[in-house]
A and B are shown apart, each in its own frame.
Chain A
Amino acid sequence: DTAVSQTPKYLVTQMGNDKSIKCEQNLGHDTMYWYKQDSKKFLKIMFSYNNKELIINETVPNRFSPKSPDKAHLNLHINSLELGDSAVYFCASSPAGGRQPYEQYFGPGTRLTVT
């Protein structure tokens, strides 16, 4: 069974469109994350949710809005897509509060290409 899944894996869209990426984890973890990996492979956290509550909100444009309907899901909605949004977006999950295992489990990534 897939632990952290993301859909879609590839997304090609035009500037100005609105798109969503879905993430689900079946590990029973409390905390979920969104990361952006740019063309230079730099991985930067965007958001984290703990049990549906927003915990980390890095300096991300307001066009990006995470939504967590329950603790197993964390979706990322992006409005008015721009060329600079092209990247690979990773979802991840982990137990919270210093509980083992301490590492994050990553989804397969969604490659977003804005044309």
Chain B
Amino acid sequence: AQTVTQSQPEMSVQEAETVTLSCTYDTSENNYYLFWYKQPPSRQMILVIRQEAYKQQNATENRFSVNFQKAAKSFSLKISDSQLGDTAMYFCAFRRVDDKIIFGKGTRLHILP
């Protein structure tokens, strides 16, 4: 069975610093998709970034980038120049070929002023 593990339940960093959230997953599939979602206090689930497993190039969206290591089944999220508005729960997610998405338990990120 596929699993998604986020080993950091909670993290705090100072504004403007860079922070990396870790995620590992377990699967026997070769083609799949990975995502990072953000859930601010408003509770809305917001897509931060996505990665197709068949692409070797790491995805980047402005201040957000990933380090995708397919062989190691690792998918970490780096937030550069962190801002107060980045404070949220961050969920790593894995989408199987049958369209089912499995979420990690989340990392609560606090950006401190």
Contacts and interface: CB of A to CB of B under 8 A. Distances in A.
Interface size bracket, B side:
20 to 34
A31 B91 contact: no
B71 to A, nearest CB: 21
A109 B47 contact: no
Interface size bracket, A side:
20 to 34
Interface in A75-111: 88, 90, 92, 94, 96-98, 101-106, 108-109, 111
**Main secondary structure on A side of the interface with B:** strand
B43 A55 contact: no
Interface in B77-113: 89, 91, 95, 97-103, 105-106, 108
Interface in B6-59: 31, 33, 35, 37, 39, 43-45, 47, 50, 52
A109 B95 CA distance: 21
The 5 closest A-B pairs by CB, nearest first: A106-B45, A43-B103, A102-B33, A103-B47, A109-B43
A31 B105 contact: no
Contacts of B91: 43
Contacts of B101: 33, 45, 104
A56 B44 CA distance: 23
B23 to A, nearest CB: 14
B35 A42 contact: no
Nearest to B45: A106
A25 interface: no
